[in-house]
Structure formats: C-alpha cells, structure tokens
C-alpha cells in the first residue's frame, strides 16, 4: 500500500526540542521531493519545509527558519523534521506530504506536537 506514516509527536516544553519522522512505503521514496505541512488547532494549512529528492535543496517557511531542520534518509525511506527552540505557536498537527512537482499528491495521517509547560 502506498502510504506515509508520521510518528514522534508529543508534549514538549517551550524552548525544547523534538524530532518527528515520516516513514514511506509502497513507492520509490528516493525519487520524490517531500514536504512538511502543519495545521494549528482550528486553523488552516501552513507549509513548513521542503527537501529535494537527493536532499541537496532545502527550503523553510520564515516562521521556522533557523529553528527547524528537515532531512531524509533514502536508504530508510524516511523523512525527518528536527524542531528546536519550540514555541507555543508551533503547536500543530504535522503532516508529511509527497511532492509530485505539480501538487502534494500523498499525505500522512499527521502527528500531533504540543508545546506547553
């Protein structure tokens, strides 16, 4: 089955760190660009970060630049988002999304990150 499965979410204190992961299966992960998209409670979708298929091109939203790091391991069919200096406003469902270069054509079910003391 073609799918993306996120994991690693949880409760973290302000200023803390967390790494969320996305496991891909059912397709050739290494040829796809990937993204992280988040959704704060009751809010809309917000793009967070992009990584090329090889990992050599990366982009971030201004809201997370300097605090979040996207990476991938094509041998493990996995995508990661390492989040540092977390703030209350980073509380959201974090989705990984496959990028077909035309659209986000496959989404995971999301993992919940809550930043609170």
Partner 1 sequence: SSELTQDPAVSVALGQTVRITCQGDSLRIYYANWYQQKPGQAPVLVFYGKNNRPSGIPDRFSGSSSRNTASLTIAGAQAEDEADYYCNSRDSSGDHLGLFGTGTKVTVL
DSSP character for 48? E
Element at 4 (helix H, strand E): strand 3-7
Of 29, 68, 94, 95, the one binding partner 1 by CB under 8 A = 95
CA distance 82 to 85: 10
CA distance 48 to 103: 15
Q: Applying CB under 8 A, does 117 fall inside the site for partner 1?
A: no
Choices 8-16, 39-47, 67-75, 84-92; region in contact with partner 1 by CB under 8 A: 39-47
Q: Compute the residue count for the chain.
A: 117
Neighbours of 36 (CB within 10 A): 27
Per-position x/- string for 47-86, each x denoting binding to partner 1 as judged by CB under 8 A, each - no binding: x--x--------x-xx------------------------
Give residues in contact with partner 1 (CB under 8 A): 35, 37, 44-47, 50, 59, 61-62, 95, 99, 102-105, 107-110
């Amino acid at each position: 089955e073609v799918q993306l499965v996120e994991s690693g979410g949880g409760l973290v204190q302000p200023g803390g760190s967390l790494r969320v992961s996305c496991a891909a299966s059912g397709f050739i992960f290494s040829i796809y660009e990937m993204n992280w998209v988040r959704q704060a409670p009751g809010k809309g979708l917000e793009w967070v970060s992009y990584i090329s298929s090889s990992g050599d091109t990366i982009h971030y939203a201004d809201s997370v630049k300097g605090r979040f790091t996207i990476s991938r391991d094509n041998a493990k069919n996995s995508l990661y988002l390492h989040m540092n200096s977390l703030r209350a406003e980073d509380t959201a469902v974090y989705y990984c999304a496959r990028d077909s270069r035309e659209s986000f054509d496959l989404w995971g079910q999301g993992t919940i990150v809550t930043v609170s003391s």
